[in-house]
Amino acid sequence: MRIDDASVQRNALPIGMAKLTRLAFAGVDLGRIAGQLRGMFERDPAHAGALMDLSVIDQLNGDLSIGLERQALALRQQRVFHSTCCGAKPRLRVLAFVAAADIGANTPLEFLLEGSDIALTMAYAMPGRPLPRELPDHDLAFVAIAATPTNRRLLADLEERLAYWPAPVVNLPARVSMLEPDDLGDHLCDVEGLRTPVFERRRRDELAAAAQTRALPFPLIVKPQEPANWDSEKIDGPVALASLLARRCDAAFHIAPFIDCRGADGLYRKIRVIFVDRRAYACHLAVSDGWNASHIDARMQSDPFGRSEEERFFATFDTDFAARHAKTFDALVERVGLTYFGVDCAETSSGELVVFKADHTLLVHDMDPVDVFPYKPSQMRKLFDAFSAYLYRAAGHARLGGRRRT
């Protein structure tokens, strides 16, 4: 891949996260591209954009710690970066506030806006530090920072700074903060027609005692205090809980009753829905025998029956799934209070909507191979177009023409 020499502007990303992820997803060896970026940085040690792209490649290759080290080095030089994925001839300028973190920890705006006529600039907000002094002119600001305990202070600081911002702001930090995973169940527990796991913290000794006395409502979900430690586990009884405690040395855990969302055929269906300006859009449907399987884990690429079901789901989403849950969706959007966010959800056998996660940083992409998923491009274009059109409305600008895809 040739890296355009015009990208030597120090505030530009030579390639960007969306393009690099797309290449990695397609199985391209990123080694040669990394070599070009290293050469660019060696010729110009102030080229923070090349470092940021190298950070993305490191993470895509599984080297998270090295990637974050490179990211930190780049941010010591500058904190504002222009994406070259979007807005070649822009008519709208978006400034996104992002956090220093791994590549999945901010709203995937490059994927949402890639090939559009909207220019995207990312400004890194840092806890306890003022915003970068020289922010570019923009028509709209977008808070893309994830709701996590680590970002709690950052979002609180940003809420104060954006209170009188000269441009419209999408996804206010105080609303984003309400999506912290450990608090989500409490926040959504009384939404009519919706169920969500309500996690509570239990000390290790409490769980050990409960395992012996059988004083827990099995089956249940157990997850670590630090999500990076290990994945959540479904625990069916005292023996399995004792085994977990023997394997893990964590001082405390979070537990919640397991909500069974299996269909009549015994399979699980995990659905990702994206809300743009109160309207729901289907993103994917994963069919598998695993209670916690993602779309990739479900191996939909090798499951023609699962793909046929996903295709039908897309075709009938507005008149079937979204229509059945219309009142619940309206209440959910009202409660969350963001104009862009997504949920990972499912249905119980009785037809209740179960929300496992609500987040405005869920991955939304069109990287699936078209020959295997021929029905996906039109669905994703529909979502991307809706997002771009919403940004124009939020900025108070008229939108001329349609979206240009590259």
Pairing type for strands 194-195 and 353-359 reads: parallel
Domain-embedded: residue 389: no
Cα 206 to Cα 367: distance, rounded to the nearest angstrom: 45
Q: How many domains does the chain have?
A: 3
Contact 179, 341 (CB under 8 A): yes
pLDDT in tens, the chain (406 residues): 444 444 445 578 999 999 999 999 999 999 999 999 999 999 988 899 999 999 999 999 999 999 999 999 999 999 999 999 887 789 999 999 999 999 999 999 999 999 899 999 999 999 889 999 889 999 999 999 999 989 999 999 999 999 999 999 999 999 999 998 878 888 898 898 999 998 889 999 999 888 777 778 899 999 887 766 678 899 999 999 999 999 998 899 999 999 999 999 999 999 999 999 999 999 999 999 989 888 888 889 999 999 999 999 999 999 999 999 999 999 999 999 999 999 999 999 889 999 999 999 999 999 999 999 999 999 999 999 999 999 999 999 765 544 433 2
Report cis status (omega within 30 of 0) of the bond before 219: yes
CA 230 to chain centre: 19
Domain-embedded: residue 385: no
Q: Are residues 210 and 76 in the same domain?
A: no
Residue carrying the six token digits 């289907």: 282
Q: Are residues 303 and 225 in the same domain?
A: no
CA 311 to chain centre: 23
Q: Are residues 83 and 133 in the same domain?
A: yes
Domain-embedded: residue 290: yes
Q: Are residues 226 and 282 in the same domain?
A: no
Domain-embedded: residue 48: yes
What is the model's pTM? Answer: 0.92
Residue carrying the six token digits 């909500």: 259
Contact 268, 204 (CB under 8 A): no
User: What is the span of the domain harbouring residue 225?
Assistant: 198-257
Domain-embedded: residue 294: yes
Q: Are residues 247 and 135 in the same domain?
A: no
**Among candidates 102, 141, 91, 103, which has minimal Cα distance to 19?**
103
**Among candidates 91, 68, 93, which has minimal Cα distance to 82?**
93
> What is the domain-level CATH number for residue 272?
3.30.470
Domain-embedded: residue 396: no
Cα 87 to Cα 95: distance, rounded to the nearest angstrom: 12
Cα 235 to Cα 281: distance, rounded to the nearest angstrom: 33
Q: Are residues 239 and 314 in the same domain?
A: no
Residue carrying the six token digits 């699980």: 268
Q: Are residues 247 and 129 in the same domain?
A: no
Q: Are residues 35 and 123 in the same domain?
A: yes
Contact 72, 5 (CB under 8 A): no
Q: Are residues 43 and 169 in the same domain?
A: yes
> What is the domain-level CATH number for residue 247?
3.30.1490
| DSSP secondary structure letter of residue 183 | H
Domain-embedded: residue 320: yes
Q: Are residues 213 and 283 in the same domain?
A: no
Q: Are residues 311 and 344 in the same domain?
A: yes
Quote the pLDDT of residue 228. 62
Domain-embedded: residue 185: no
First vs last C-alpha separation in the chain: 16
Q: Are residues 273 and 252 in the same domain?
A: no
Cα 82 to Cα 9: distance, rounded to the nearest angstrom: 9
